[in-house]
Structure 1
């Protein structure tokens, strides 16, 4: 069976934006992962889910654990039987058609989600239907990591540095000077180093004006050396530290940054 690809990203060289695939308008049975007799879909709040039902059989709709059904709305409330129960903290909605070859839609609402179903009475049925919530779980994990880092006194930008020993030695004490014709969105959000590399987090709103990075060898003579860097998300990573560096956006647009002593 095909798996829905929710987080596929297209990263273009020297850009800071990744584009995620849009969810489908209608998820079909081929889009589900099947575990035993259970069909598991990726939850998308604005998408519809096509569910096959059959006369004489019950389809079990399993909601997210801990949720409580607040309302069930159906387009056809005459030719369909609907019941519900809660088992071990999981809400179940049971659906059964009373006629063949009929269709309707149904919306099951809880305090946090709306499950939008398109029901068809066919010669086969989906025994169990449930959802996974990958995007929500990722957001929760990110928030949890943020709280842990805050509790440990580790700045958020430190997550880009994989070596825990280097993380303890990060220097965030940088300041920007000599700004020439730069707009607010051109100014990096932060600059820090680990004693070996320098990390420059660009403003995510700046999608197009990507700078050239120079080491300032001699300020009075305006002697500069081009420095190569690689891009990870909206972070520029240079394999060196600086006493003074320059981000040049154009001939007359630049700003320097220096470590504070």
Structure 2
């Protein structure tokens, strides 16, 4: 008779037994036994044997790409305006080594510079420098000096880069105007030696003022007011009046004055002919002063003629004094 007695196991007890068996199994897998011998010990390298170096692997850097969006509003307009405002050197703009620009407000004047060389900026004589500034004051050197004295004293600004491959702008403010410069530096010793300016607009204004003053001094003082004679007939012959037809004609008993419109172009200035009794025409000398032909004699009949086919003719006839 068997002495083994089956003992009933409750479900909760079976779970505990299974867990215990699992723990024992893990321990037996990790603990060496006769069936699972210990692993062989690590073998040390022999004396003098080369050992392969262990090279650490650097982490791969992450590249952050910057996405460039469209330019801001007005960027294209600024670029186009600056490009159109730049003035560049031309061979015929030089007098010896001095580059002359025609000054115009808002114009950007370019100049070439080179390390170890000075570029000289000559302002107008009598013009006073108030301030000078550069966009890059670290790699560009600005200086100033003067030449001459009194009303003819001239300010001289000196510009020099410390190396090639640079670009900056320079602003010069004076008591009369503002100069906008753009400087580029290059190696090799090619540079703008000196720059200065012509002032055509101011020169034209000064010339017009001088001509007006001359006309006043020449015409007005010589007129005998009590002898002025305005009775002249001015008419276009066989055509409508041309745009250059005189506004009026008068004399002072000695000279004849023919006044033209102020907008008469130089190409529209017609020659003056004296017409004799038989209809013969003779060219007469005259001077043009401040919009007037001044003839150093009295004129009975004269004609202003311009062109050939068709020819424009305006006749001037002196009539008797009225009253």
Task: Place the TM-score, normalised by the shorter chain, in its bin.
Answer: 0.5 to 0.7
Name 1:143's counterpart in structure 2. 209
| SS of residue matched to 1:203 | coil
Q: How far 1:230 sits from its partner (Å)?
A: 8.1
Measured at CA, do residues 230 and 214 of structure 1 come closer, stay the same or move farther in structure 2, by a change above 3 Å? closer
Matched, 1:245 2:321: no
1:37-56 pair list within 5 angstroms? 39-45=98-104, 48-56=108-116
Contact 1:63/1:92 (CA < 8 Å) preserved in 2? yes
Q: TM-score by structure 2 length?
A: 0.47
The match for 1:61 is: 121
Give the C-alpha shift of residue 121 in structure 1: 0.7
Q: Give the Å deviation of 1:198.
A: 6.3
CA–CA separation in structure 2 for the residues paired with 1:115 and 1:86:
17
Structure 1: stretches of 5+ with no match in the other structure: 1-23, 159-166
Q: Matches of 1:185 and 1:205 in 2, distance apart?
A: 8
Aligned to 2:78: none
The Cα shift of 1:27 comes to 2.7
Match of 2:75 in 1: none
Q: Which has the higher helix share?
A: 2
1:32 aligned residue (94, 98, 104): 94
| Inter-partner Cα distance in structure 1 for 2:194 and 2:271 | 55
Of the three residues 182, 192, 196, the one matched with 1:130 is: 196
Q: Is the contact between residue 244 and residue 269 of structure 2 (CA under 8 Å) also seen in structure 1? A: no
Q: Which residue of 1 aligns with 2:185?
A: 121
C-alpha displacement at 1:135, in angstroms?
Answer: 6.5
More displaced stretch, 40-49 vs 118-127: 40-49
Is the alpha carbon distance of 1:168 and 1:43 closer, same or farther for their aligned partners in structure 2, counting shifts above 3 Å? same
Larger radius of gyration: 2
Once residues 279 and 276 of structure 2 are traced to their aligned partners in structure 1, the CA distance between those partners, rounded to angstroms, is: 5
Change (3 A) 1:99 1:135: same
8 Å contact kept, 1:174–1:257: no
Question: Normalising to structure 1: TM-score of the pair?
Answer: 0.55
Corresponding position of 2:246: 187
SS of 1:82's equivalent?
strand
Aligned to 1:94: 158
| Compared CA separation, residues 53 and 212, structure 1 to 2 (3 A) | closer
Secondary structure at the aligned position of 1:27 is classed as coil
The Cα of 1:99 is off from its aligned counterpart by 3.1
How many Å apart are 1:100 and its aligned residue? Answer: 0.8
Q: For 1:126-148, what per-residue CA distance to the aligned partner results, in whole angstroms no more than 9, with x for missing partners?
A: 34433455774575466346546
1:142-187 CA distance string (max 9 Å, x none)? 634654664xx4218x9xxxxxxxx899x97444436576488633
Task: Give the secondary-structure state (helix, strand or coil) at the position aligned to 2:124.
Answer: coil
State the number of aligned residues: 218
